[in-house]
């Protein structure tokens, strides 16, 4: 395993067209779950200049006004006038919604002695490491915080020349396997046409990057690329078509660890693409917090309609205090990975998903509260199963 290297991760702002779509899809999901917790939702959005298309399969006892929800999301993000290239008040809304396929429903719905099965086949991954107190890789965690700070500076009028679209990228230098400094920071932010490029660069470095990246990770050799093309006025859906589910690496671990390929947003928790990925993160985080490993990746895999996973694997990348095979046995013994149990354990039939749809699904709080999959409440159970003492302070 490499010890000295530079690793890069990217985040995109809430105003990035793909992220706008993720938030619309998850806001619609939240609306249905609020009305009917048993709703089955697979909802995607596409946006382009002046247009929002909402499509998918939904079965629910509830009702949601798709257009109103979409416009509320767009308004909250900040696309409120034609000057930004997109407006919540003038965009057209097109919907193409059908009910969930009966072929899928019969494999997923519990009843007549049958357990709830997985909503699809596939493999899901969860990851955690000890690089940050949130048990996230330093690069993606920092990139998300830069994006959040950009939005805060825009919405508070600290930097009134910023507009909603943007993205950032952080390259981190590792020595002996640990992050030691920010090698390169790239920020591209949509802006008003009248702000001088020098003013924009200085403001983003001083009021955004240096407010987020710990000072010990910045030095005179850190490279900053701020709007490296020199101009980013035309952005949002006018500059780039957006689509739900196109930022799966941004949503997870920034490329640090593997990905099964399934997107999250717009999917109710019967879809293991989402719920099992959350559960795998929950398990991995608890294993690292329990000091069974410094770095841990969990893989689970399912067949559609079948409750039990077809496989569970653990990889600690040589950092485990026990063999990976032994840790995998402990995981299978302590955690019920059937879809219904995952949903109950993490309380997933709630309208919590719009908050997940920007700045990462993992390693952060939502409205002051940790997402349930970010809890570390199984640490002592894991340590006991591994033959270790109770963790200090627990």
Percent of the chain with pLDDT over 90: 86
Least confident of 27-36, 76-85, 208-217, 222-231: 76-85
DSSP character at residue 310? S
What pLDDT, on a 0 to 100 scale, did the predictor assign at position 1? 61
- Confidence category of residue 390, pLDDT binned at 50, 70, 90: confident
Least confident of 13-27, 175-189, 284-298, 364-378: 364-378
What pLDDT, on a 0 to 100 scale, did the predictor assign at position 78? 94
CB 71 within 8 A of CB 89: yes
Query: Which SS3 state, helix, strand or coil, does residue 392 take?
Result: coil
What pLDDT, on a 0 to 100 scale, did the predictor assign at position 104? 61
Percent of the chain with pLDDT over 70: 94
What pLDDT, on a 0 to 100 scale, did the predictor assign at position 352? 95
Quick one: which of 211, 288, 297, 203 has its CA closest to 256?
A: 297
What pLDDT, on a 0 to 100 scale, did the predictor assign at position 394? 56
DSSP 10-55: EEE-TTSHHHHHHHHHHHHHHHHHHH-TT-EEEEEEEEETTEEEEE
CB 146 within 8 A of CB 195: no
Token pair in block for residue 114: 């049958």
DSSP character at residue 208? I
Please state, in angstroms and rounded to a whole number, the distance separating the CA atoms of residues 376 and 322. Answer: 20
Higher pLDDT: 102 or 204? It is 204
Q: What's the average model confidence in pLDDT over 195-214?
A: 96
- Confidence category of residue 85, pLDDT binned at 50, 70, 90: confident
- Confidence category of residue 366, pLDDT binned at 50, 70, 90: low
Q: Mind listing the pLDDT tens digit for each residue in 133-167?
A: 999 999 999 999 999 999 999 999 999 999 999 99
Question: What is the number of residues in the chain?
Answer: 394
């Amino acid at each position: 395993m490499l010890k000295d290297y530079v690793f890069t991760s990217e985040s995109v702002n809430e105003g990035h067209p793909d992220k706008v779509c993720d938030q619309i899809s998850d806001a619609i999901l939240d609306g249905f779950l609020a009305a009917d917790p048993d709703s089955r939702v697979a909802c995607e959005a596409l946006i382009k200049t002046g247009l929002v298309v909402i499509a998918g399969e939904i079965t629910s006892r509830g009702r949601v006004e798709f257009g109103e929800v979409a416009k509320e999301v767009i308004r909250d993000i900040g696309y409120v006038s034609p000057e930004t290239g997109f407006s919540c008040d003038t965009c057209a809304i097109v919907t193409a919604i059908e009910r969930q396929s009966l072929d899928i429903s019969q494999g997923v719905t519990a009843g007549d002695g049958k357990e709830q099965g997985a909503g699809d086949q596939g493999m899901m991954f969860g990851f955690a490491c000890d690089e940050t107190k949130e048990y996230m890789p330093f690069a993606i965690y920092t990139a998300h915080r830069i994006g959040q700070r950009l939005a805060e500076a825009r919405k508070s009028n600290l930097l009134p020349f910023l507009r909603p679209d943007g993205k950032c990228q952080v390259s981190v230098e590792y020595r002996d396997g640990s992050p030691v400094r920010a090698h390169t920071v790239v920020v591209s932010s949509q802006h008003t046409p009248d702000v001088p490029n020098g003013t924009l660069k200085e403001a983003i470095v001083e009021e955004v990057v240096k407010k987020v990246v710990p000072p010990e990770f910045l030095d005179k050799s850190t490279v900053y690329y701020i709007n490296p093309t020199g101009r980013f006025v035309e952005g949002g859906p006018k500059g780039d078509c957006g689509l739900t589910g196109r930022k799966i690496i941004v949503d997870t671990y920034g490329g640090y660890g593997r990905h099964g390929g399934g997107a999250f947003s717009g999917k109710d928790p019967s879809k293991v693409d989402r719920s099992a990925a959350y559960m795998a993160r929950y398990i991995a985080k608890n294993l690292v917090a329990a000091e069974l490993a410094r770095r841990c990746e969990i893989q689970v895999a399912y067949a559609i309609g079948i409750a039990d996973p077809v496989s569970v694997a653990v990889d600690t990348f040589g950092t485990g205090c026990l063999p990976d095979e032994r840790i995998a046995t402990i995981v299978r013994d302590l955690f019920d990975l059937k879809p219904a149990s995952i949903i109950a354990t993490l309380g997933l039939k709630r309208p919590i998903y719009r908050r997940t749809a920007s700045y990462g699904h993992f390693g952060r709080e939502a409205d002051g509260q940790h997402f349930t999959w970010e809890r570390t409440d199984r640490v002592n159970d894991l340590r006991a199963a591994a033959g270790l003492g109770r963790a200090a302070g627990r």
